[in-house]
Amino acid sequence: MSTPEELSIQMAHHSAIRSMQRIVQEQAEADPEPVARDGVQSMLDAGKVLVVTGAGVSTDSGIPDYRGPNGSLQRHRPMTYQEFRYRPEARQRYWARGFVGWRHMDKAKPNDIHRRLVQWEREGKISGIITQNVDGLHQQAGSHRVIPVHGDLSIVRCLDCGYSENRQQFDARLQEANVGYLEEVEVDPAAVNPDGDVELPQYLVDKFVMVHCLNCGSVVLKPDVVYFGESVPSERKEQMHALENESTSLLVLGSSLAVMSGYRILLDFVKRGLPVALVTNGHVRGEEKANWRWRVPLDHAMNQLH
């Protein structure tokens, strides 16, 4: 019989699975392009726009999205926090695959959408960015007010003692422990998932050698990102709330808002009676509540805004 703690872990895991499998379907029709474009432009002209970005912002940088027609969820289910924390074989699989996938993620560069957001920040059109992405590309592009709600792949943290390490340094240690490993692997860069994960045969997973925490010797090391089944840190929630309070409208770019951390922001702006605009190539959770819905590829929309 399972203990109460084990039952709690199982429930959290199953809840995480339901969250990642959520399919966002049409709840409202898109607006005619001139109407949507003018609505978004009016928000930018007024300034203090909070921008929420999702995986669709980084697809032109070679990083696939999650829920799009060609998204990674079509071929890959991300690991839940409960799997990662309590199943050593799951951690072994993640780090073997992540070791290979990371060097493809690390090569990704900001695209024109990231650069346009930097320009809008400099011009005072936007108050800041809350991004669901963990690739760090907004910061690389030069945006200053960025809150990565789901964390950052460039940091590795020990779940036992809390010690954190730069991913570049951590990766160098992995390479020292796995000499010749990468030469055995052939990976299509298009198959790398948004979290840096990539499929590997089991014999390579078994062969991979994990390194220890530099502080306490633990092998329970995790990218400093929020997994499905894990809560956003309270300090980050407070930062998001403060940025929301100083913003007068919401612009969602390239996100379905399928997970609650993003959807809650939309609900907050609707509750405050503030304008909401959605620019995506698909459907958005709560889209019927938005003032403007512009359903087009992001690069097409961004080229018409200033």
Strands 164-166 and 151-158: antiparallel
3-state secondary structure 146-167: EEECCEEEEEEEECCCCCEEEH
Burial class (CB in 10 A: 0-12, 13-18, 19+), 241: exposed
Q: Which two tokens stand for residue 185?
A: 């692997």
Q: Which residues pair with 51 in a beta bridge?
A: 129, 251
Q: Scanning the structure block, which residue is given the tokens 């570049």?
A: 168
150 included as an active-site residue? yes
Residue tagged active-site, from 114, 138, 150, 283? 150
- The C-alpha atoms of residue 141 and residue 120 are separated, in whole angstroms, by 12
Instruction: Count CB neighbours of 276 within 10 A.
Output: 27
Nearest residue to 48 (alpha-carbon basis) of 209, 270, 243: 243
| Catalytic center residues | 150
